Structure 1
Amino acid sequence: MTRLIAGRPIRQIAYFVPDVEQAALAHVATFGSGPYYVAEHIPLSLCLYRGAPAELDHSSAYGQWGDIMVEYVQQNNPGPSCFHDIYPEGSGRQGMHHVALIVEDLKADMARFEAAGHEAALYAEVAPGVGFAMMDCVATLGHFVELYEPTPQLLGVYDLVRSSAQGFDGSDPIRRFTIA
């Protein structure tokens, strides 16, 4: 496992929650993080759950906490998913779900994780060819590892969240945006 992650900074820590906005507001109040950018019902042009076509309707809130981005994610539709793998549907459970790494070659890194016994629980694309993967590292790390490439769109979101956090005084803690 170490050779898969060593030398790569964790760019994000993500939590599965029932309500991304409430979770973000609680984090702002407790830790002074933020502001949080909320994207509702993020469209996916492709979604594979453990290799099979699937539906995933999810919303996320992204904020900055020191040097790391925090994401809160909620699943809006019923059914199996990498989120429900750890937090079963209807259980009311929530908590840490994944950390994210930016990789230069998504397919090659997915293959490296899979060769080490960590299958892709989710492969999805927000636009054709702009994908991300949730690698199942639960047995060894207790959580998933998300992989994605440094596309201009992705880096733009990271830059927006980080720059908005500079001088953040707690006002206007929830901001809306779309991921298209």
Structure 2
Amino acid sequence: MSRIFGPVRQLGYVVHDIEGAMTHWTETAGVGPFFYVEDQPLNNFRFRGQSSSPRFSVALAQTGDIQIELIQQRNDEPSAFKDFTDRGLEGLQHVAFWTTDFDRHLTAARDQGLTELQSGLSGSGAPDERFAYFEEGPFPGTVVELSEISGRKGDLFRAVAAASVGWDGTDAVRDMRTVLGS
């Protein structure tokens, strides 16, 4: 557990083929079900301090206390994910810490000397759906994300976790938009 941010709650994988990655996780690893959205809504997205409009497909599943996030970027707009794949990398790109006290943890990250890489609002764009990613330094795949889970995003994450309990392997990929009736 991080003495600064608490437990790692999510492993974020950047992939070239999200459908194939979901199949791998559900059939080979037995992790699922995945909740998938082809075009993840983003608001106020900034990469290296500049406004950007990347389009991502995202899939979420849970295994124990860890959420698995799969991300495939669908355009060439600047983002940490595009940088990752442009370097010829695919796989684990970030670890995420979840918080209901975003401002305190954001200050702690800056106090640790972390440099913000990208940020924005996910989902509905509500003010309690903030995220910030920090530079990885010299080790690929060690980007740190802080993800605020006070609002609907937290409800989504809890619904994904609940669906994994006792999952029998059926209905392996589900529409993320139906989870919260949105």
TM-score after normalising by structure 2: 0.86
Equivalent-residue separation in structure 1 for 2:51 and 2:38 (angstroms): 21
CA RMSD of aligned residues (A): 2.1
- Residues matched between the structures, number: 175
Deviations 1:64-111, CA, capped at 9 Å, x for gaps:
12321101001111032111233217x4x3110111111233233223
Distance 1:172 1:104, change over 3 A: closer
Give the structure 2 partner of residue 42 of structure 1.
40
Give the structure 2 partner of residue 155 of structure 1.
154
Opposite residue 100 of structure 1, the aligned amino acid is A
Give the structure 2 partner of residue 32 of structure 1.
30
Say which is worse superposed, 168-177 or 109-118, in terms of deviation: 109-118
Give the structure 2 partner of residue 52 of structure 1.
50
User: Which of 81, 91, 95 is the matching residue for 2:91?
Assistant: 95
Opposite residue 86 of structure 1, the aligned amino acid is F
Residues 57, 74 of structure 2: 8 Å contact kept: yes
Structure 1: give runs of 5+ residues left out of the alignment: none
Residues 56, 71 of structure 2: 8 Å contact kept: yes
Say which is worse superposed, 134-143 or 151-160, in terms of deviation: 134-143
How far apart are 1:141 and its partner, in Å? 7.4
TM-score after normalising by structure 1: 0.86
Query: Aligned residues: percent identity?
Result: 29
Opposite residue 44 of structure 1, the aligned amino acid is L
| In the alignment, structure 1 residue 115 sits paired with structure 2 residue 111 | yes
| In the alignment, structure 1 residue 76 sits paired with structure 2 residue 74 | yes
Distance 1:138 1:34, change over 3 A: farther
Residues 21, 38 of structure 1: 8 Å contact kept: no
Give the structure 2 partner of residue 177 of structure 1.
176
Distance 1:18 1:140, change over 3 A: closer
| In the alignment, structure 1 residue 143 sits paired with structure 2 residue 139 | no
How far apart are 1:128 and its partner, in Å? 4.3
